Structure 1
Amino acid sequence: MRNPWLWALLVAGLTACNAEQSTLHVFGAEARAVRQMALVLTIGAVLIVAIMVMLYVRAVRAPEGRLSHDGGMRMVLWLGAIGPTLILTALLIYALPAMRPRATAPGDLTIRVDGEQFWWRVAYDPAGDLSPLLSANEVRIPVGRTVIFELTARDVIHSFWIPGLAGKMDMIPGRTNRLVVQAEKPGRFRGICAEFCGLSHALMAFDVVAMDGADFDAWMARSRAASTGVTASRGARLFDAHGCGGCHAIRGTPHDADIGPDLSRFGERPTLGAGILPPTPANVAAFIRSPQVAKPGARMPAYPQISAADALAIADYLKGLK
């Protein structure tokens, strides 16, 4: 390795290559504006550093007596003070308008997200008299429409961050913060908690699905219906017998508790445990019996008394909810 600095630069550049979770791979108007602002500010900083380097080189290499005292003072004044001040003022004038939040209208979609240890409670509040649509660990948004996130927390401070969509926003117990965004292209992306919140802080992610407007409306209408797969199966009976309905809700059943994540259409979710595991029946069964193994500090109690076969039956039942 002849040039370690070049290799270090290349490795650092690779850290921004993740298309699902990257501030450089943007899919929202706010993230695009932040990326553009960062580029402009970086150019301004490089320009100021270049001026300082020019002054240094001129001072070191200039022959003795070539530069008079008055000439040197003028150079320092213009290149060391007035020039950088003008550059910084121009950057400030450019950045201030870009920091204004996006305007909202009464009919905009509102999505309430509560951070919990260590998962995400999601509620879609549509315009009109419809009741909120509940979900967990997944956020779906329509492309080209303004979306208002109302963010809070129920236990400790969390931080809601979708790198490709917008900047971070703290989630503080007892307070609701608003984040206004607009997705520009469809796709599946990743969001994370950006504030240390406990043992499983790093195991607290969520999926972000940006959808075409018509597809989003169809998904909302379909999701309001009762989950299919709600049958009197052995797994359903075990779900009832072990009291799982005391914490979890499933649309189309008597279970409507809101202590834990809503499990309606659980079979359609691409991950288990807020983005940490593939939702295979074996993983679901293991999570039911001992969630702290996969997610230390999780508030869901362990159920070692449930046999492996019974846990697998419950997992099969949940996987069938669509």
Structure 2
Amino acid sequence: MSDRGGVPALALPLVGGCSYQSYQSTFSDAAVEVRQFNSLFVIFLMVCAVMYLLVIGFMLAAIMRRRAGSANVTEERRHRESDPLMRVGLIAWGSLVGVGLIGLAVASFFGDRSMARASADPKLAITITANQWWWDVRYSASDNSKMIRTANELHLPAGVPVHIYLKTNDVIHSFWVPSLAGKQDLIPGRVNDITITPTRVGIYRGQCAEFCGAQHAHMALIVDVESNPNFVRWWEQQLRPAPAPATALARAGYDFVTSRNCGACHNIGGTPANGSVGPDLTHLAGRRTLAAGTMPMSEGNLYGWVADPQSLKGGNHMPTIGLEPDQLHAVVAYLETLK
């Protein structure tokens, strides 16, 4: 590589650190589980660092002692084997290693038990199903009429343990919100789970952390941790059906969406569209992103996505319909009312 080409290549990691996603950090304290993981990490790091330094120190001492010793190796070995100080050192070293390993085991045990207690008493249960390349999110409720379904966004109340069940409809995926939780794989035919107890209000980004196909990089999840009053308001708003179109253009879009094949894949609450293959669209326009974090939610991006989804996220399972301009305007006008 030439010097001219080498400098930009070396600068790439620095440029990546300037992206809007740079706030993701596994050293966050935004959730109880992350703090526990970080505490365990610090304990393991300190114990292992001490052991490493001691090993290096003993190795250097042995090298220096050997160089300064006599040339008679047999005599030196006898002296070393009968040296009481050497024996005490070996016993102390072995004891130190044993105590360190026991300490790590105890710390790991109590950390696991603490997280198990949180998962045993969840206040909210959510099922997330991964698809190529989007997330289906369903909030459980004893009354089916109060069950909520959304897509690519996860709303959580601060300070409340949330138990999340993880499934996949196709290939192996991995659920990961670095600032709130560790990774958990989603494996076909199995249901895994993870508990998150968020403590800090804010917006966090998650993503699939297991290569799952051509659009793996465009399979993001926005996590909105809210205060309890705001979460209750969001919950009540999600329970409402889609608002009725208020303009003639939006009404034309409604007629098109509910009379064509859109409803075979997508659900829009309160309308004849009741599909379950694709993302729920009941409150689509109220979300922050479009196409699982591929782009911000905006009128222009809605036009581009409805007109030709393959040009924006190639390989996804939404076909290009080929709408006439007036049909496209009507459909987008209707989708913008779904808040």
**Larger CA Rg, structure 1 vs 2:** 2
- Select 2:62's aligned residue among 59, 64, 76: 59
Whether 1:291 and 2:309 are equivalent positions in the alignment is: yes
The SS at the match of 1:99 is helix
In structure 2, the partner of 1:258 is 276
2:32 matches 1:29 = yes
Tell me if structure 1 keeps the 8 A contact 2:121–2:161: no
Contact 1:20 1:188 in 2 (8 A): no
Amino acid at match of 1:240: T
Aligned to 1:190: 205
Task: Tell me, in whole angstroms, the C-alpha distance in 1 between the residues paired with 2:69 and 2:219.
Answer: 63
Amino acid aligned to 1:321: L
| 2:323 counterpart SS class | coil
1:230-251 deviations in whole A, cap 9, x for unaligned? 3452322332354212211111
Query: 1:230 and 1:122, CA in 2 relative to 1: closer, same or farther beyond 3 A?
Result: farther
Contact 1:122 1:134 in 2 (8 A): yes
Instruction: From the superposition, tell whether residues 312 and 37 of structure 1 become closer, same or farther in structure 2 (CA, over 3 Å).
Output: farther
SS in 1 for 2:117: coil
Equivalents in 2 of 1:104, 1:30: separation in Å?
10
Range with bigger deviation, 95-104 or 182-191: 95-104
Q: Name the SS for the 2:295 alignment partner.
A: coil
Determine if contact 2:127/2:164 at 8 Å carries over to the other structure.
yes
> Aligned with 2:96: secondary structure?
helix
Give 1:248's aligned residue.
266
What residue in structure 1 maps to residue 51 of structure 2? 48
* Residue pair 2:285, 2:337 contacting (<8 A) in 1 also: yes
Of 56-65 and 162-171, the range deviating more from structure 2: 56-65
How many angstroms apart in 1 are the aligned matches of 2:325 and 2:44? 57
Task: Find the aligned partners of 2:311 and 2:48 in 1 and give their Cα distance.
Answer: 47
TM-score (norm 1): 0.87
Partner AA of 2:47 in structure 1: G
CA contact (8 A) 2:258 2:271 kept: no
Q: Is the 8 A contact 2:175 2:184 kept in 1?
A: yes
Note if contact 2:164-2:195 (Cα within 8 Å) is conserved in structure 1.
yes
Once the two structures are superposed, what CA deviation does each residue of 1:238-287 show, in whole Å capped at 9, x if it has no partner?
A: 32354212211111222111110001111111101101101222222222
Aligned match for 1:69, one of 72, 80, 84: 80
Is contact 1:102-1:180 (8 Å) kept? no
Q: Secondary structure of 1:49's partner?
A: helix
SS state of the match for residue 233, structure 1? helix
Give 3-state SS (helix, strand or coil) of 2:156's partner. Answer: strand
Of the three residues 114, 118, 128, the one matched with 2:129 is 114
The answer to whether 1:218 aligns with 2:221 is no
Note closer, same or farther for the CA distance 1:118–1:103 as it changes in structure 2 (3 Å cut).
Answer: same
Task: Kindly tell me the number of residue pairs found equivalent between the two proteins.
Answer: 314
> Could you tell me how far 1:19 is from its partner in structure 2?
6.3
Q: Partner of 2:7 in structure 1?
A: none
Higher helix share: 2
Q: Quick one: distance in 1 between partners of 2:234 and 2:264?
A: 27
Distance 1:307 1:117, change over 3 A: same
How far the C-alpha of 1:17 sits from its partner, in A, is 10
Matches within 5 A, 1:129-144: 130-144=145-159
Structure 2 match to 1:302: 320
> What root-mean-square deviation, in Å, do the aligned CA atoms of Structure 1 and Structure 2 show?
2.9
Using the alignment, how far apart are the partners of 2:276 and 2:165 within structure 1? Answer: 18
Compare 66-75 and 40-49 and name the one that shifted more: 66-75
Distance in 2 separating the partners of 1:126 and 1:140 = 15
Change in CA separation of 1:282 and 1:295 when aligned onto 2, cut-off 3 Å:
same
Is contact 2:30-2:200 (8 Å) kept? Answer: yes
**Match of 1:4?**
none
